[in-house]
Structure 1
């Protein structure tokens, strides 16, 4: 069975480290960011228009893959819970889900989106339009 994960793009953001990153896209600090798409995936952008609501899937390349329990939101006052009941980036397979709006498509192969809480350099592994009616 061939099981590979392809990086289709890279996030360029003013958020430079985990400590300064908001926990979710609707928190203060989520920013407008650019996603540079790998040219091999250019045809996959066909049909994307500014204003589209998108779901980005990212690989949290700086997260701790050995963590199975966390204090939700990083707050030590919250009781420890299993990572699968939280949105923590620390988990065995650290895939991020981000709901954003496509602001612009710029050449060469750059999507401008907002709001995005991922840090600079985060790999993008998929882009999906938000399902209608949800």
Structure 2
């Protein structure tokens, strides 16, 4: 049985370098982007609808995996902290978690989402939808 991380798609974004990427999705500069899903995983989109809140899990492939302390949000005036108390992309296993809104599904396989703060070409490893809350009685 395989136990390896599988790339299910890629983010297509107008952000093309780490320097211009915001540090969090709620900062200025987070953009609308397309997630191009590998055709092998399209059936996983069944019953997904625009307006849904999603958590997109990415492999931050350009992150420095040797870093254990950073200045929060890259602000050098702030004291350094351990990476496990930050959302820095720099960490031993650089998995990003991005809360987005699904705006549309294009060609039954491309997810248009916003806001997301990753660079173009970032691999996607999973997508989780926020469960719908049952109606209150």
Q: Do both proteins adopt the same fold according to a TM-score greater than 0.5, normalized to the shorter chain?
A: yes
Q: Which structure 2 residues correspond to residues 1-134 of structure 1 after superposition, within 5 A?
A: 2-107=2-107, 109-132=109-132
Give the distance between the partners of 1:95 and 1:73, measured in 2 at CA: 17
Please report the TM-score for the alignment, with normalisation by the length of structure 1: 0.95
Give the distance between the partners of 1:100 and 1:83, measured in 2 at CA: 23
Give the distance between the partners of 2:122 and 2:85, measured in 1 at CA: 23
Which digits, 9 at most, give the CA deviation of each residue in 1:85-124, with x for residues without a partner?
A: 0000000000000000000000151000001111100000
Unaligned stretches of 5+ residues in structure 2: none
CA contact (8 A) 2:56 2:126 kept: yes
SS in 1 for 2:112: strand
Give the distance between the partners of 1:65 and 1:129, measured in 2 at CA: 28
Q: How many residues align?
A: 133
The runs of at least 4 consecutive aligned structure 1 residues that moved more than 2 Å come to none
Give the distance between the partners of 2:71 and 2:90, measured in 1 at CA: 11
RMSD (Å) for aligned C-alpha atoms: 1.2
Give the distance between the partners of 1:37 and 1:66, measured in 2 at CA: 29
CA contact (8 A) 2:33 2:113 kept: yes
Please report the TM-score for the alignment, with normalisation by the length of structure 2: 0.93
Give the deviation of 1:132 after TM superposition. Answer: 4.5
SS in 2 for 1:15: coil
Unaligned stretches of 5+ residues in structure 1: none
CA contact (8 A) 2:31 2:114 kept: yes
